Amino acid sequence: GDSVTQMEGPVTLSEEAFLTINCTYTATGYPSLFWYVQYPGEGLQLLLKATKADDKGSNKGFEATYRKETTSFHLEKGSVQVSDSAVYFCALFTGGGNKLTFGTGTQLKVEL
Amino acid sequence: KAGVTQTPRYLIKTRGQQVTLSCSPISGHRSVSWYQQTPGQGLQFLFEYFSETQRNKGNFPGRFSGRQFSNSRSEMNVSTLELGDSALYLCASSQGTSGYEQYFGPGTRLTVT
C-alpha cells in the first residue's frame, strides 16, 4: 500500500538557519504530494503541493520538488524564523476519492 | 470564505458512551473527510463522504460511522467508546471529486476516561 516516510524529529535550528525535512514515499500510480503544517492546538494547514514529476511547490519561503526518480519530496527553507516552529507533515494522494496518506510528522523548533 | 468548522472543540466522555462530532465544510465544498490523530498512530484516515455518499473508508472498526447531509455538513459517531479512542479528530473539506486540495478544521479533542 501507499506510505510516506519522514525524518525523525525534533529538528532544532537557530533562526536564519537552512531547513531540510526529508520525505520519501511509496505509491502505486502517480501520486500528488503535499506538505501540511500544524501549529500547536490547531488543525493542519496546506503549505504546498506538487502534482507531477519535477513540479516545484512553494509557499511562504518553503519549497519542495517532486522527484520521481528518488521518490522524494523534501521540504526546504533558506532561512527559518521562530514563527516556523510547528509540526510538518508530508502526505500523498493517489486518486480514487480524497484519501490522504500522511507521514508521521516532523517537529521543528526554531530558537533565537 | 469561512473555513472548516468543527464542533465541539473539546469533549470528555466516559468509556462505553457514544459521541457525535460535527463538521461544516467550506461553502461550495462537497467532499468531507475525517481523520484521527494520536501520538502513537499519527494521522489515520477514517472515511470520506461526497454528495451524501461514503466513497472511502479506512481501517477502523464498525463503532466508527459517519454521514453527510444535503448541505454537505458531516457528522461522525463513535459508539461504545474505548480509552484508545482518545484523539484529535480532524475534518477536511475539498472542492472536487478527487485530488483537490483539502482544507482542515481545527479538530475536536476527544478524551475518554
Q: What residue type is B24 in one-letter code?
A: S
d(Cα B63, Cα B108) in Å, to the nearest integer?
Answer: 18
Q: What is the pLDDT of residues B77-89, one digit of tens each?
A: 999 999 999 999 9
CB B94 within 8 A of CB B31: yes
Are the Cβ atoms of B99 and A101 closer than 8 angstroms?
A: no
* Pairwise CB contact (< 8 Å): A100 & B33: yes
Question: Cell numbers of B58, please?
Answer: 479506512
In the prediction, which pLDDT does B97 show? Answer: 61
Task: Inspect the interface and report whether the beta carbons of A97 and B55 lie closer than 8 Å.
Answer: yes
Stretch 91-110 of chain A: residues touching chain B, C-beta under 8 Å? 93, 95-105
**Residue B106 banded pLDDT, cuts 50, 70, 90:** very high
Q: Which residues of A touch B31 (CB under 8 A)?
A: 97-98
Spatial contact of A15 and A108, defined as CB atoms under 8 Å apart? no
DSSP class of B25: P
Question: Which residues have a Cβ under 8 Å from the Cβ of B71 and sit 6 or more positions away?
Answer: none
Measured CA to CA, the distance from residue B44 to residue A101 in angstroms comes to 8
